[in-house]
Chain A
């Protein structure tokens, strides 16, 4: 069974600090990796997608992928209180239509 593991948190960081969110996955054949942000009572919104090893940066967000270690992370620089949310890691296996979601990490940015 394909699994995606995340630390449930809560992860608390002070405003302006770097928040580091981690995710591991069990399916070695996974090809596509996504980070979604979900505010309380709202639906998930896409933050980043990454498909190849290395880093991908978009504004304050950097996604990192290491397929050999089956590990994907999300760094949030200069964290803001508005970043406080649950962050979902999602993985798609080779030839699959579906995403497998982790249970999410709750991030709290303290002013």
Chain B
């Protein structure tokens, strides 16, 4: 299957700092990428849909000024958690949608964010 690379895999930061997470589709172009958040023992929660060259579409309740998304190219989307607080600690997972028939979504390995 297609490969989606997500970095970093784990980050620990102090409250008030910003953290950038990168998501790259390595062997296919992804005009659409998705960012999810998952708390322990809970299901995936879609945060936003990222389209190359345009503004991201955020789900209800997700603060766009706190979770900045930039989809600068067909293979790269970034999520920046600004002024992180302990309640932002979670597992963040990106997903890239293939443009091949079937339009399968492939997931990155996820980033575990811990805010102290």
Contacts and interface: CB of A to CB of B under 8 A. Distances in A.
Interface string B35-60: 00000000110100100000000000
A41 B43 CA distance: 12
A97 B102 contact: no
A98 B102 contact: no
A49 B102 CA distance: 8
B1 interface: yes
Size class of the B contact interface (CB-based, 8 Å): 20 to 34
Contacts of A102: 43
Contact of A32 (B44, B49, B102, B109): B102
Interface of A: 32, 34, 36, 41-46, 49, 51, 88, 90, 92, 97-99, 101-104
A42 B110 contact: yes
Contacts of A99: 105
Contacts of A92: 103
The binding surface of chain B is classed by DSSP as: strand
Nearest to A106: B41
A64 B97 CA distance: 23
A77 B1 CA distance: 22
B21 interface: no
Contacts of B34: 98
Nearest to B51: A97
A35 B6 CA distance: 21
A103 B38 CA distance: 11
B43 A49 contact: no
Given A90-B105, A102-B43, 10 more contacts: A34-B104, A41-B91, A42-B109, A42-B110, A43-B93, A44-B107, A46-B104, A98-B49, A103-B43, A104-B43
A42 B97 CA distance: 19
